[in-house]
Structure 1
Amino acid sequence: MNSTTGFRARIALMAAHCAGMIDIVALPVWVGTLIARFGFDPQQAGALATLFLAGAVTASVGLAPRFNRLRGRHWIVPAGYAISAAAFLACMRTSQFETLAVLHLAAGFATGVGLSITHGTVALTNNPHRLFGFMQVAVGVLGIAYMAAAPQIIAQVGGAGLFAIFGAIMIAASVITALAFPKVHPAQAEAAAHDVRPARLPKAAWCAMAGISLMNVTQAMVFSFMERMGADRGFTPPDLHVVLIAVGIVNLVPGAVAAFLQHRLDARNVVLAGATAQAILAVVLVSSTAFPAYAASGAFFVSAVIFTHIFTFGALAKLDPSGRAVSATPAMLMIGSAIGPVLGGTLVKFFGYEAIGWAAVAIDAVAFCFYLQLRNHTAPPDAPVIKIHPQT
């Protein structure tokens, strides 16, 4: 029986997190491939990515309130990723928008099931902030591999290669979690469901959820079109490939730094700085016609939301020790990410790339206001927490 303190269990949690967060590293190549290889316009390409993310949101919203009452979580996670793999592999056999839309929605729902349970399980560990930080480092490693390999594979085999890669990632997550995902003793699950009645979520928790959701609207809206933006401005494919790899390398840093600085920085200040930094990077990225400015802002753009997300995750774990709030992490992230691609595609289609930069400023300003609410709330230091231990 696995405990969350065990190496195998942590590897399983990291694998599940990486597969579930594939959008954070894949969106530029994903949307770019749908446009360049399938002939969809920016609005259609953004809509397909949005459908995947909308499916994940739907699953997370349904599961999060029931997280403590779910039995057999250690089997639900691998099953979810297996279904997601099947949906992505089916995408290889069609280029019809309607069929791809249904398959994207199904893949997103199944992925959201696995990711929601994964994040809820992380909340029950001894140090959710630190573990989540290192899970984000794992996403950075995946990002480097993906950005290095995906464009080459797609260039050789065509658009179907994109879905083959997604399918392979989901299969790997399904196998690893089937072998090592941690599980709760039935008696502990019963206690979590009945003996400990979590209080209603405080206002600050809802505000933190809204803040990170809005930051993910900006992240998905801008990042989805980063590759197309550069191509339309005349930057060469090798240059763009270097930028995408740089994104993956830079994304290794925020998780480790956030884990190290957990007790050195006040999360309430970090989230405010994160929203501000994201808005600035977005404006620089969309307005840059010179490659150095485009490359620098693009390389660091995703890291702003990753770093902020880790501190938001840690704050939510303290505000709600039951695990419900962080179990809703896929919903709070992907509801923003789901809106972003189609919103960005619509703005680009009618107003050009500069429009998504100014939209980012407006959205991050609202996120900043939500995050301000955290400054008036401190999590209770001795709130009850249900931990996962080995079954005896």
Structure 2
Amino acid sequence: MKTTSESRAGRASLMVAHCAGMVDLVALPVWVGVLISGYGLDPQQAGGLATLFLVGAVCASLFVAPRSARLPARATAAGGFAVAALAFGAVGLVNDYAAMAVLHVVAGLAAATALSVTHAAIGGSGNPHRLFALVGFALGVFGILFMGGVPKLVASLGAPALFWSFCGIMAVAACVAALAFPTARAVDSGAQHTAGRLPRAVWLAAIGVSCMGLVQAMIFAFVERIGAERGFDGAAVAGVLIALGFVNLLPAPLAAFLQKRVNPRTVLVCGPVVQAALALLMTQSQAFLPYAAAAACFAAVMILTHTFAFGLLATLDPSGRAVGATPAMLMTGAAIGPILGGTVVKLSGYPSLGLAAAAIAICAVVCFLPSRADRAVLSPS
């Protein structure tokens, strides 16, 4: 069956693939928390395993993105998710740290291979911003289901149940991709092979996305642990993570609504500032309500800003190379985040995470500032 990114089956497949490939954006607090509480690892070791998954993801995306137009998209997506399912299933069967580390790398390589062709297909659609908002909404729904179900499975069956859940998610994505992943892209074939250097604005936007990904992973990985360290009730903290999933439903439709009404650069410049403010509130507050409000809204800022960044990159680089590499952009920062956050916590405690986030946010804002070259292209019409 031939499908495109504009068909219902194609869009549904891209939604499932995006959710599976971006599982870290939803699962990181539970992931790191289970590694600490269920496997007895310290924050640095737990963050290191998540980082290894993301390092593998970055390497795969950097390799796949320039070649995405020449790869068999359906086979690549289905095969990538299938290998990731096997790797995560194996993590649930071992306790040796070295074996877990190798399997995390394999899972990251495989999942990001599939995610890169997914994002390339989205970037080749008629309206990349709108389609990315749609898959972002699907990620919000997936987050609610994940947070509502997986922690209960872990509590009932033990820590390995987290990785068996990841295995199941990747297996479903592999089956859906094999049946309905888009086999044709709507973008002009000539644009796919545009040669030459990427514009400077693309590289700056990529660095900005990486900075936001770094802050997202550095703080988000320890949301559950911050609550536990402050002595907040475990059920209340779990409720915050579920509420976070509902809040994550809002940024995607908001991004679609604002597409023609707001200059993307406005959103991109404001995003890191809001992200840093929430990080400071979460890490400095000793009261539950400020912590809960900041935690519930934290991931939504990244989802909204990332949607506008994706649309910006698709506009600045019609060849599709930049959007195919968005997993690398996002996960380069995200790969550093868990181990950097774990190291900061180990050396200086949780309040220092917010200060580090504020410093990184300044770098992101500088990268996202509009350049003279793209103001005319990106003005809302």
TM-score normalised by length of structure 2: 0.96
TM-superposed CA distance for 1:380, in Å, is 8.3
Query: Is the Cα contact below 8 Å between 1:56 and 1:113 reproduced in 2?
Result: yes
Query: Is the Cα contact below 8 Å between 2:191 and 2:320 reproduced in 1?
Result: no
TM-superposed CA distance for 1:379, in Å, is 7.7
Residue from 321, 326, 338 that aligns with 2:323: 326
Identify the residue that residue 77 of structure 1 maps to in structure 2: 77
Q: Deviations over 1:10-49 (max 9, x none)?
A: 0001111000000001000000000000000000000000
- Equivalent AA in structure 2 for residue 45 of structure 1: A
Are 1:258 and 2:277 counterparts? Answer: no
Identify the residue that residue 132 of structure 1 maps to in structure 2: 132
TM-superposed CA distance for 1:150, in Å, is 1.3
- Equivalent AA in structure 2 for residue 8 of structure 1: A
Q: Distance in 1 between matches of 2:278 and 2:150?
A: 25
Q: Distance in 1 between matches of 2:30 and 2:331?
A: 18
Paired residue secondary structure (2:250): helix
Sequence identity of aligned pairs in percent? 48
TM-superposed CA distance for 1:69, in Å, is 2.6
Alignment RMSD: 1.5
Are 1:232 and 2:229 counterparts? Answer: yes
Q: Deviations over 1:273-304 (max 9, x none)?
A: 10110010000000111110010000001111
Q: Distance in 2 between matches of 1:351 and 1:60?
A: 33
- Equivalent AA in structure 2 for residue 33 of structure 1: V
Identify the residue that residue 46 of structure 2 maps to in structure 1: 45
- Equivalent AA in structure 2 for residue 124 of structure 1: G
Q: Deviations over 1:190-233 (max 9, x none)?
A: x566xx53442110110001001100100000010010110111
Paired residue secondary structure (1:252): coil
Deviates more, 1:79-88 or 1:233-242: 233-242
Identify the residue that residue 154 of structure 2 maps to in structure 1: 154
- Equivalent AA in structure 1 for residue 200 of structure 2: K
Identify the residue that residue 89 of structure 1 maps to in structure 2: 89
Identify the residue that residue 30 of structure 2 maps to in structure 1: 29
Identify the residue that residue 222 of structure 1 maps to in structure 2: 219
TM-superposed CA distance for 1:377, in Å, is 2.6
Q: Specify whether residues 318 and 132 from structure 1 end up closer, same or farther in structure 2 by C-alpha distance, changes over 3 A only.
A: same
Query: Is the Cα contact below 8 Å between 2:5 and 2:184 reproduced in 1?
Result: no
Structure 1 runs of 4+ off > 6 angstroms? none
TM-superposed CA distance for 1:63, in Å, is 1.1
Q: Distance in 1 between matches of 2:53 and 2:360?
A: 22
TM-superposed CA distance for 1:184, in Å, is 2.8
Identify the residue that residue 201 of structure 2 maps to in structure 1: 204
Q: Distance in 2 between matches of 1:47 and 1:322?
A: 35
Equivalent residues, number: 375
- Equivalent AA in structure 1 for residue 86 of structure 2: A
Q: Deviations over 1:289-336 (max 9, x none)?
A: 111001000000111111110000000000001110000011000111
1:172-183 paired onto structure 2 within 5 Å: 172-183=172-183
Unaligned runs of at least 5 residues, structure 2: none
1:101-116 paired onto structure 2 within 5 Å: 101-116=101-116
Query: Is the Cα contact below 8 Å between 2:191 and 2:318 reproduced in 1?
Result: no
Unaligned runs of at least 5 residues, structure 1: 382-392
Identify the residue that residue 387 of structure 1 maps to in structure 2: none
Query: Is the Cα contact below 8 Å between 2:6 and 2:125 reproduced in 1?
Result: yes
